[in-house]
């Protein structure tokens, strides 16, 4: 393992590079704790380009921590619709409530206090503390781990907690007192736009090329070493897009587990035949007028995959079965958040009903 002294020349190089090459991102102008926090939570598992419109919409709807603390859950889910990992936004609301109730609406500034808030781990605490409050603490994400692995030509598995701890200690020793937030962002930025994941890093554009052992050894593109992932669980399900003159049939998912509390179309487990789908509709007291295949779709979560078979059913009007509601097109647009896992089927529903 390299000592921080050996790596210290990277600090001025990175800061100079960051000053000239950083991307213009909406959360970088006016980096208040609230804006930094919202952006960091959104950027977990989401690409920058995808997060930007969500960031603007979220800040416009909920401009303060107080507004977030009292936002209804359905509104939050709707603002988060398509970003996935909805527990992130549920935890944000809980954290906002703690900030309002225990800190009078003022964000705590130390990493220790920040880490006690729901949904804030070591990385996010370091990010908010260093960027918004100028605290001399590190924040180490996957980008930073990759940069260090290549810079040091390290064969260690960066998914291992022990390796992460080592690299975090190294980063902590490097963070300069004067510009902690900029230094942390420069490392992450370098990983995001130069020291790219999954393939050839752009070493010709890198300010650290002269110090990089991975570049010198010709190993950079094959680093970091990652342990093979476990195969995902495959779940077959049948999605029923059931439409009547009153709207589209929806039900709420359970309050815990995957996509907790969100709305979804009725689903049957397994790959149901048209006859089985029709039977299910009749059992709910619905009268199918037509049933057509809506095709197959797939959604990949972190640990599982949904392989879906869809049917589009036009049914006669009437009361919604117990546990279901009819959602009008306006309500689908404004009120009920449907998970991105159903994106393919949601797009089909925007087409006019069958004659």
DSSP reduced 3-state for 314:
strand
Q: Which two tokens mark 22?
A: 């950083």
Shortest separation between residue 292's beta carbon and ligand SF4, angstroms: 51
Using the rule CB under 6 A, give the single segment among 27-35, 146-154, 164-172, 332-340 that binds ligand SF4. 146-154
Shortest separation between residue 130's beta carbon and ligand SF4, angstroms: 21
Distance between CA atoms of residues 62 and 187, nearest Å: 30
Per-residue binder mask for ligand SF4 (CB under 6 A), 47-86, x = binder: ----------------------------------------
Q: 8 with 176: CB under 8 angstroms?
A: no
Q: 45 with 85: CB under 8 angstroms?
A: yes
DSSP 299: E
> Does 21 sit near ligand SF4 (CB under 6 A)?
no
Distance between CA atoms of residues 183 and 127, nearest Å: 11
Q: How many residues does the chain have?
A: 355
> Does 43 sit near ligand SF4 (CB under 6 A)?
no
> Does 147 sit near ligand SF4 (CB under 6 A)?
yes
Per-residue binder mask for ligand SF4 (CB under 6 A), 331-350, x = binder: --------------------
DSSP reduced 3-state for 306:
strand
Q: Which is nearer to ligand SF4, 44 or 209 (CB)?
A: 209
> How many other CB atoms sit within 10 Å of the CB of residue 228?
5
Cis omega (within 30 of 0) for bond into 139: no
Shortest separation between residue 44's beta carbon and ligand SF4, angstroms: 22
Distance between CA atoms of residues 326 and 336, nearest Å: 11
Distance between CA atoms of residues 344 and 86, nearest Å: 19
Distance between CA atoms of residues 47 and 83, nearest Å: 10
> Does 203 sit near ligand SF4 (CB under 6 A)?
yes
The dihedral of CA 15, 20, 25, 27: what is its sign? positive
First to last CA, the chain: 70
**What residues between 172 and 201 interact with ligand SF4 by CB under 6 A?**
194-195, 201
> Does 219 sit near ligand SF4 (CB under 6 A)?
no
Using the rule CB under 6 A, give the single segment among 109-117, 122-130, 153-161, 207-215 that binds ligand SF4. 207-215
> Does 212 sit near ligand SF4 (CB under 6 A)?
yes
Size of the site for ligand SF4 (CB under 6 A): 15
Shortest separation between residue 159's beta carbon and ligand SF4, angstroms: 19
Using the rule CB under 6 A, give the single segment among 38-46, 113-121, 213-221, 240-248 that binds ligand SF4. 213-221
User: Does an H or E element contain 217, and which?
Assistant: helix 213-217
> Does 225 sit near ligand SF4 (CB under 6 A)?
no
**Which one among 35, 78, 93, 150 touches ligand SF4, defined by CB under 6 A?**
150
> Does 98 sit near ligand SF4 (CB under 6 A)?
no
Tokens 């709910």 locate to 284
> Does 17 sit near ligand SF4 (CB under 6 A)?
no
Shortest separation between residue 62's beta carbon and ligand SF4, angstroms: 37
> Does 214 sit near ligand SF4 (CB under 6 A)?
yes
**Which one among 83, 149, 171, 206 touches ligand SF4, defined by CB under 6 A?**
206
> Does 14 sit near ligand SF4 (CB under 6 A)?
no
134: region left, alpha or beta (phi > 0 left; psi from -120 to 50 alpha): left
Task: Return the exposure string of 70-98: e unless at least 16 CB atoms fall within 10 Å of the residue's CB, then b.
Answer: ebeebebbbbbbbbbbbebbbebbebbbe
> Does 240 sit near ligand SF4 (CB under 6 A)?
no
DSSP 249: E
40 catalytic residue (yes or no): yes
Shortest separation between residue 25's beta carbon and ligand SF4, angstroms: 20
Closest C-alpha to 230, from 293, 304, 125: 304
Which of the residues are catalytic?
A: 40
Where on the chain is the footprint of ligand SF4 (CB under 6 A)?
Answer: 147, 150-151, 194-195, 201-203, 206, 208-209, 212, 214-215, 220
């Amino acid at each position: 393992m390299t000592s921080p002294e050996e790596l210290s020349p990277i600090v001025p190089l990175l800061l100079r590079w960051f000053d000239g090459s950083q991307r213009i991102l909406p959360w970088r102008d006016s980096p208040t704790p609230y804006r930094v926090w919202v952006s960091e939570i959104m950027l977990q598992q989401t690409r920058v380009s995808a997060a930007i419109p969500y960031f603007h919409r979220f800040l416009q709807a909920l401009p303060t921590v107080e507004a977030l603390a009292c936002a209804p859950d359905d509104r939050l889910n709707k603002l988060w619709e398509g970003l996935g990992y909805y527990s992130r936004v549920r935890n944000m609301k809980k954290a906002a409530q703690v900030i309002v109730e225990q800190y009078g609406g003022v964000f705590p500034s130390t990493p220790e206090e920040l880490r006690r808030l729901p949904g804030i781990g070591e990385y996010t605490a370091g990010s908010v503390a260093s960027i918004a409050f100028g605290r001399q603490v590190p924040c180490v994400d996957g980008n930073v781990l990759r940069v260090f692995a290549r810079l040091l030509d390290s064969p260690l598995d960066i998914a291992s907690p022990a390796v992460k701890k080592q690299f975090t200690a190294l980063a902590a020793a490097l963070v300069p007192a004067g510009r902690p937030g900029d230094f942390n962002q420069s490392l992450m930025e370098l990983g995001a736009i130069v020291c790219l994941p999954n393939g050839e890093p752009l070493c010709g554009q890198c300010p650290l090329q002269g110090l990089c052992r991975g570049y010198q050894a010709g190993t950079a593109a094959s680093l970091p070493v990652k342990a093979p992932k476990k195969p995902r669980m495959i779940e077959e399900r049948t999605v029923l897009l059931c439409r009547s003159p009153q709207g589209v049939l929806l039900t709420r998912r359970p309050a815990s587990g995957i996509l907790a509390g969100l709305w979804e179309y009725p689903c049957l487990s397994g790959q149901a035949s048209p006859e089985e789908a029709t039977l299910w509709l009749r059992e709910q007291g619905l009268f199918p007028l037509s049933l057509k295949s809506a095709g197959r779709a797939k959604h990949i979560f972190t640990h599982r995959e949904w392989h879906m078979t869809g049917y589009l059913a036009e049914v006669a009007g009437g009361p919604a079965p117990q546990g279901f509601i009819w959602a009008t097109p306006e309500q689908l647009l404004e009120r009920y958040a449907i998970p991105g896992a159903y994106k393919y089927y949601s797009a089909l529903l925007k087409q006019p009903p069958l004659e």
